[in-house]
Amino acid sequence: MYANRVLSGMRPTGKLHLGHYHGVLKNWIKLQHEHECLFFVADWHALTTHYDTPEVIQNNIWEMVVDWLAAGIDPALATLFIQSQVPEHAELHLLLSMFTPLAWLERVPTYKDQQEKLAEKELSTYGFLGYPLLQSADILIYRANLVPVGEDQVPHIEFTREIARRFNHLYGREPGFEQKAEAAIKKMGGKKARLYEELRTRYQQEGDTEALEAGHALLNEQQNLSLGDRERLFGYLEGGGKVILTEPQALLTSASRMPGLDGQKMSKSYHNTISLRDTPDEVTKQIRIMPTDPARVRRTDPGTPEKCPVWALHQVYSEDGVRDWVSVGCRSAGIGCLECKQPVIDQVLKELVPIQERAAHYNENPTLVRNLIADGNEKARELARDTMRDVRQVMGLNHD
């Protein structure tokens, strides 16, 4: 049995590029050797913003899976699946929605941020508001404890922890826990029982920690309680119970901000990407036309590497020797910019060779890809079903 279970998802909204590779996929590839890993295509999440362009989602799902495999995600090590093929995510999302305060969703920072960023789109929708809760369902349904994500997603993981806590608080009790606790209270006798009830209310409703301490003292004084009853009343006082859903932790992807062709972070919205599927000619051309330090108008003008986006790429791709050569050559106008770019071009092309070879293999064998996703879907469903059995049971939905 594995100690940890890692889960992460990606929305199929566009071609993957070197930013995804360096920022996300390399980390997944490492994790698949260390832990049980589940990686999935978040197609429902993509629909929350792309509900008017379903073809984008349809086309990108399989390309994205091929890109993952091409990058080195190994289906023998990690379970790969598609969110919408495990409908239990939707069922858990619905059940969690029953006790999720609207205010919790409205205060998730990505909600307003994204609405403002994508202002041209109608995003005052029920589905978009529920985005983080659907994400919670994705995570909680597998009882995953580690979730590799970028910094922007940390509030969603924090939110998920709160949902898990609230769930466990509401439903995490042994069968008949409340009745047993209530019976134990009665055994303390009228006056003490009333005091216990009062302290419990004060702690749970107002967070009054003095009431909690007084409650502990009261229980410790009780001679006529069995050990089991005393334990129950300690738990009941704090509102704790059995843990049914696991609180996950964010595994922060080290902020390896892959620089784009213009020096900003590589991102589709900045149109500064090198895609994993770009041909060697395209890659070469894109790097050759990259802007450089504007001070180097002529070949004889010296430049400052720190003012040049090519320098940022050298940080990712070049060894010390090459970087020294750039640093000296740029400042002294000893090298030209095209010369300077060549080692970067070479390294990017070298990095893409095995990726594109694997991509070709999978593209030639679409059935292989379909089958491996079908297997992943099935594995995921089995795990999800297990959790849902427990969830339905404690939420009064066990109708067998």
Binding-site ranges for ligand TRP (CB under 6 A): 7-11, 42, 45, 135, 138-139, 147, 149, 153
Q: Identify the helix (H) or strand (E) that includes residue 46.
A: helix 43-50
By a kind-dependent CB cut-off of 5 to 8 A, residue 161 interacts, out of ligand TRP, ligand SF4, none, with none
Select from 36, 43, 278, 293 the one that contacts ligand SF4 (CB under 6 A). Answer: 293
Select from 214, 218, 316, 335 the one that contacts ligand SF4 (CB under 6 A). Answer: 335
CA atoms within 13 A on the CB side of 212: 13
327 vs 324: CA distance, rounded Å: 5
Residue 108: DSSP 8-state: -
20 vs 16: CA distance, rounded Å: 6
By a kind-dependent CB cut-off of 5 to 8 A, residue 303 interacts, out of ligand SF4, ligand TRP, none, with ligand SF4
Select from 245, 308, 384, 388 the one that contacts ligand SF4 (CB under 6 A). Answer: 308
By a kind-dependent CB cut-off of 5 to 8 A, residue 296 interacts, out of ligand SF4, ligand TRP, none, with ligand SF4
By a kind-dependent CB cut-off of 5 to 8 A, residue 8 interacts, out of ligand SF4, ligand TRP, none, with ligand TRP
* Residue 37 · residue 29 · CB < 8 Å: no
By a kind-dependent CB cut-off of 5 to 8 A, residue 9 interacts, out of ligand SF4, ligand TRP, none, with ligand TRP
By a kind-dependent CB cut-off of 5 to 8 A, residue 45 interacts, out of ligand TRP, ligand SF4, none, with ligand TRP
214 vs 196: CA distance, rounded Å: 9
* Residue 326 · residue 314 · CB < 8 Å: yes
- For ligand TRP, the closer of residues 8 and 377 by Cβ is 8
Residue 104 neighbours by CB under 8 Å, 6+ apart? 159, 162
Q: Are strands 146-149 and 78-82 parallel, antiparallel or unpaired?
A: unpaired
Shortest Cβ 298–ligand TRP spacing (Å): 44
Kindly determine how many residues on this chain lie close enough to bind ligand SF4 according to the rule CB under 6 A.
14
What is the distance of C-alpha 330 from the center of its chain?
A: 41
Residues in the chain: 400
Q: Identify the helix (H) or strand (E) that includes residue 163.
A: helix 154-171
In this chain, which stretch among 32-40, 84-92, 229-237, 290-298 interacts with ligand SF4, using CB under 6 A?
290-298
Select from 11, 50, 143, 296 the one that contacts ligand SF4 (CB under 6 A). Answer: 296
By a kind-dependent CB cut-off of 5 to 8 A, residue 139 interacts, out of ligand TRP, ligand SF4, none, with ligand TRP
379 vs 392: CA distance, rounded Å: 20
305 interacts with ligand SF4 by CB under 6 A: yes
- Burial label for 207, CB within 10 Å (0-12, 13-18, 19+), is exposed
Binding site for ligand SF4 (CB under 6 A): 292-293, 296, 303, 305, 308, 310-311, 326, 330, 335, 337, 340-341
